Amino acid sequence: MSNSDGTTDSGGGPYYWCLRHNRVETDRNVCPAKVTMGPYRSPTEAEQALDRVAKRNEQLDAEDAKWSGEQR
């Protein structure tokens, strides 16, 4: 069931990081998929989502630079 703010009341379950509210959400109060990351197994994993993305992007940027011959 959807609430007026776009969240749902479907019960507990996996955890998500909401980019709109900058908080952990569950199936019980999750925003639409276009503004969430996940699912994650724990609230801690969800809280760390943006850090993991930033680290992964740094690694991929370094690999791209290596392929193109740039120095980093």
Residue with tokens 């109060």: 29
Does position 10 have pLDDT exceeding 70, yes or no? no
Give the confidence band of 68 by pLDDT, cuts at 50, 70, 90: confident
How far is Cα 6 from Cα 41, in angstroms, rounded to an integer?
23
What is the separation of C-alpha 42 from the centre of its chain, rounded to a whole number of angstroms?
Answer: 12
The reported pTM is 0.70
Residue 40, pLDDT above cutoff 70: yes
Distance of CA 20 to the CA centre of its chain: 11
Selected residue with higher pLDDT from 31 and 6? 31
**Residue 71: predicted pLDDT:** 62
Q: Is pLDDT at 7 greater than 70 in this prediction?
A: no
Q: Which residues of 39-61 are buried (b: 16+ CB within 10 A; e: fewer)?
A: ebeeeebbeebeeeeeeeeeeee
